[in-house]
Amino acid sequence: MSHGADGAGGPLTLADYAELARQRLDPSVWDFVTGGAGDERTLAGNTVAFDRVRLRPRVLSGVAQPALSTRILGHTWAAPVGIAPVSYHTLAHLDGEVATAAGTGAAGVPLVVSTFAGRTFHDIAIAATGPLWLQLYCFRDRNVTRGLVERAEEAGFEALVLTVDAPRLGRRLRDERNGFRLPPGIVPANLSGTGFSAPGEHAREAFDATLDWTVVEWLRSISPLPVLLKGILTADDARRATEEGADGVIVSNHGGRQLDGAAATLDVLPEVAAEVSGRCTVLLDGGVRRGGDVLAALALGADAVLMGRPVLHGLAAAGRDGVADVLSIVTEELADAMTLSGCPSVADAGPELVSGSAVSLPETGGRPAAAERPRTHVSGLLKEELHGSVSDPVLDTMNFLNEITHRYPDAISFAPGRPYDGFFDSEQLFTHIRRYMDHLAAAGRSPAQVRDALFQYGPTSGLIRGLVAESLRLDEGIDVPAESIVVTVGCQEAMLLVLRALIADPDDALLVSSPCYVGITGAARLLDIEPTAVEEGADGFRCEALEAAIRTERGRGRRPRAFYVIPDHSNPSGSTMAVDERHELLKLADREDLLILEDSPYRLVSPGLQLPTLKSLDRDRRVVQLGSFAKTLLPGARVGYAVADQLVTAPSGSTCLLADELSRVKSMVTVNTSALSQALIGGMLLAGEGGVTEHNAGTARHYGEAMQATLRALDASFTEAEREDLVRWNRPSGGFFLTVTVPFLADNAALTRSAEEFGVIWTPMSYFYPQGGGEHTLRLSVSYLTHADIHEGTGRLARFIRTAAH
């Protein structure tokens, strides 16, 4: 069954799914599934509130393909829709939450799993390809709640949703009339051994009726996961939630019994959103039945909505496919509503989309200005008042990886992508610096000038630009003048400078090949740039994907400005772009007026003949090359560079090189790159007859042998049957990295278990997907390990994978 056609040849609607569900379920089960957890009058009021809203149409807006994706708590959702927590999906379908998770993952949206789910967190997580959150009740016995949180963390759940209006549940009148009881075998699968059976009994006997605001601090003390409070209906409570450290609030009125005449969720949403004003995530749960309802909620201040009943109807009618189809219908309706309202993206949805007679907005228009926000009195600083990048999940994940490495020092780590220590000789540092000093003297510098070159700040563009240009000519066939090069503090600074110079307007788009090196996405986040992912296929990058992404961005009214890619032995995937694809990419860049940001640090430390760089093939100055000597010469020197030979024309008609503009930006960032570091790298280049190839003959051989040793060890560790059904990996020809695909969620919880119980560390590939993905893949780095460690570590990894998969 699909949205495209039903058995009669026509498309199914949400009403069709509801009717199919009604026909297939026992009448008392139908009443339970469709009746909701709270007072029935309250639930009806929620849908009526949406019926009152009128969206304003706009013509000639130019919106053809509105952007539905949004970022919630640092993660990208395909649409601003999540699945609300509903108990016992097994009443609607035998596979229950497992089928729901599979359907929501296919749609790219999250599922909030109820405490009273009919399937275990573990089983749900195996089926899920999208985010999972846990909805919690706080029990009198806090150990019960703690146990739920711990099991959810182990399964890879990403957030906690505490229902705060639960101790007095609404009367389920239809269930009382029907004398409804849960059928035999329908049990809360994650509360096994606690003696609980049905929600009503839980509320009366087990929920903590004395719950107060300290529960937020308690939850944060037992788990690092974000905490959202579900059941917020007033601005005062929303403000208090942020003061107590909640990461989000959910405007909802159907977790418990409400006051007579209580307002519908949509009616109170604007005041709640205005009160928190961006300090925390605001979701709405209650009454969402159509795509237009989603847009109305966004316009009135919600960051996203949660939807329950229609999804259960799809589940009852057609299992996972029904869930996916219901979500497809809703997102298509949302896209249509956005197009007709002239709304190009979720971020652009505001109160101007809604008719003023339909809702009551706060006098501030929905969100107070920064100067009007009440500030909590605390000692020190509020994190929400710092730049959003300090809370970016990329930073958190890298910190988590470092923490794991230090916590388990005896584990074998396939995580760090750094050079092998055996190549370094401390005495060589002095030799290389002396060689560079002699080079300056031979060029006619006086002793005082040589001293100043190393002791003083030096030129912003760099001391060794000429040597870098010569090495590029010798090693890579790139013939550019020294003036087109800026020597930077590692390649990371080169990325930052280029992004700052090129992305000048909110409508300028940065596209990145995905999975993507976190350095570029991290630099973009620092500059408030949201990169657009261009997904690699199974065999690597294809120009068709980039061309489609360019069309989509232009359809959103944006200007694709630059595309970042690692064409050789990519970090993290290990893939290499074919030579025909390189030529096609350059043609596409010229045709679409696009700059290519080429980052290729692993070429010269990989064995065999390497394909030509994009910059060496560039005849139209379409490529800005971002380079580094970290892998080829010395990581501790922190010396990188940008080759930016593009002409920049001023309004006056005068021209300069893009490198000159990068130098201006650099002068306000690091002033200049360390003269001692440049002297060290300069001396090493001179020792290599002007290039780095001679330095890397043995290095490339070592890394190539390490890669082959890892591939042989993986082949030996898994049977042929396991390689077909359990695990698979790619086979890079060089570089530091390869990827392994597994049948379970390869997340932080799995990584912790791998390190703790099996003594092996790896990197979750999900870290490297800017807009979600890679949840079942891990990255192995082979560069830092001996062959003995590779052999032992691969054996440990195989034992972990077998255990985690069963």
Give the residue numbers annotated as catalytic, written as ranges.
254
What's the sign of the alpha-carbon dihedral 351, 353, 356, 357? negative
Output the DSSP codes for 466-513. HHHHHHHHHHH-----GGGEEEEEHHHHHHHHHHHHH--STTEEEEEE
CA distance 599 to 478: 14
In whole angstroms, what is the distance from residue 222 CA to residue 293 CA? 36
CA distance 502 to 758: 46
Is 567 in contact with 578 (CB distance < 8 Å)? no
**What is the rounded distance in angstroms from the CA atom of residue 59 to the CA atom of residue 18?**
33
Q: Contact at 8 Å (CB) between 624 and 644?
A: yes
Task: Name the DSSP letter for residue 66.
Answer: -
Token pair in block for residue 393: 């999940």
Give the span between the Cα atoms of 308 and 330, in whole angstroms: 12
Look at residue 647 and give its three-state secondary structure: strand
In which order are the strands placed within the sheet that holds 763-764?
728-729, 737-741, 777-781, 763-764
Calpha distance 440→759 (Å, rounded): 50
Cα 105 from chain centre: 15
Phi and psi, residue 12, nearest 5°: -85, 150
* Torsion from C-alpha of 336, 340, 346, 352, nearest 10 degrees: -150
The DSSP call for residue 596 is E
Query: Can you point out the beta strands (E) in 317-422?
Result: 412-413
- Tokens in use for 539? 């065999």
Q: Looking up tokens 């230090």, which residue turns up?
A: 406
Helix (H) or strand (E) holding 206: none
Angle formed at CA 463 by CA 441 and CA 421, multiple of 5 degrees: 95
Q: Which residues contact 71 (CB under 8 A, 6 or more apart)?
A: 77, 530
3-state DSSP call for residue 286?
coil
Q: Are 772 and 76 in contact (CB under 8 A)?
A: yes
| 3-state SS string for 714-734 | HHHHCCHHHHHHCCEECCCCC
Give helix 265-276 / helix 40-52 axis angle, nearest 10°.
Answer: 70
Report CA-CA distances (Å) from 287 to 48, 111, 118, 601. 8, 17, 24, 52
**Spatial separation of the C-alpha atoms in residues 576 and 611, rounded to whole Å:** 9
Among candidates 128, 107, 126, which has minimal Cα distance to 322? Answer: 107
The set of residues, in sequence order, having a beta carbon less than 8 Å from that of 690 and lying 6+ positions away, is: 467, 470, 471, 474
Give the list of residues 6+ apart from residue 207 with CB closer than 8 angstroms, or none. 137, 138, 139, 140, 166, 167
Nearest CA-CA partner of 776 in 793, 759, 762, 756: 762
CA distance 258 to 700: 69
Q: In what order do the strands lie in the sheet with 532-535?
A: 485-489, 639-643, 623-628, 595-599, 559-565, 508-514, 532-535
CA distance linking residue 261 with residue 264, whole number of Å: 9
The answer to whether 594 and 646 are in contact (CB under 8 A) is: no
Cβ partners under 8 Å of residue 673, min gap 6: 458, 462, 487, 488, 489, 493, 639
